[in-house]
Amino acid sequence: MEPAEEAEGGAPQGELQGDPTERKRESLEEMLSRHRQEIAKLQNKEMNLKKAAAKGSKAEQKAKKKQVEDEISRLLSQLKAKHSEELASLGYKTTDSSEKGSLDSLVKAIAGVSVTNHSESTKPSKGARRRGRRAQEAAAREQRIQEEQSNIISDRMIENESLERKLEPLGLTIKEIKPDGHCLYRAVEDQLSLHSRNISQYNYQELREMAANYMREHASDFLPFFLSDSKIEMDSDSSPIERFEKYCEEVRTTAAWGGQLELGALTHCLNKHIVIYAGSFPDVEMGKEYISDTGSSASNSSILLSYHRHAYGLGEHYNSVVPYGKGKNVCEASSHTQPCN
């Protein structure tokens, strides 16, 4: 696989070049909006290329991954240069032309907008000043977004490399899970399917219900951790029990993101040892009491997940960790049903 080839669902390389003559009639705000879309498209392309590279032997996967990273880095540099030129074509420029190739520097300079095609001898009207303020605000927003998008790509690469170094000696790799609010439950579902010859005992929605019901039934075990989580923001007039009950209902009925509370419930519901590998944090183990006496649970019956803080810019994400050769497709959900004991 050559990284420069178009991946399924990704943007072809040629799209990053564009045609400046087609952009002349764009307003600044329209151009900035398109720039954000092109950054997002590049991120999707990166994800698709990495999925396509997760095939073959360890050596082949490693070589393909390096090609993908080099290609994405090259395309990102190209995209920044293109955005810089397009902004300059609208009359926005930096005070130092040597910085033209750096989009971050250019966008920062736009905060003190210099428009070459406007008459400097004419006092700007009230409407012009208002439009100028809007342009400055849009440029500031674009700067923040570009910085965040660039950081996401580099942070994700660092995190993935750290995870790879951790998993490779164990003969394990990451299987991509659909990036939605159900990713934790889909990853657990994929693990259960792996342990039972591709027939999952539960689908992701049933796992949600199991976790919610278990937390409700063992509220005294979970409530202290729930209340200590500073990210929980609910009506302060409600009692702790009422807030916890509302939280459990959201776990059961919505696509609310799951974390250690829910995994703590699932380890007891499923009687499974759970290991969460992370690139940015120490690994976490739950349910050690369920490790098999044979000592083989780590490869045969433990639930192995990976935690990604910088996966898609949408927040935390969980993937399934599988033996080499099985991390090919994005996992959706399967169907068989059983009650939680």
Give the residue numbers marked as catalytic: 180, 183, 317
CA 111, distance to chain mean position in Å, is 30
Output the six-digit token pair for 61. 């996967």
Nearest Cα neighbor of 290 from 278, 277, 300 is: 300
Output the six-digit token pair for 320. 């399934």
CA 183, distance to chain mean position in Å, is 11
Integer Cα distance of 226 and 219 in angstroms: 10
Integer Cα distance of 252 and 209 in angstroms: 5
CA 173, distance to chain mean position in Å, is 18
Integer Cα distance of 57 and 173 in angstroms: 11
Q: What is the DSSP letter of 160?
A: H
Measuring CA to CA, how many Å separate 52 from each of 67, 233, 337? 12, 40, 32
Nearest Cα neighbor of 35 from 85, 92, 69, 109 is: 85
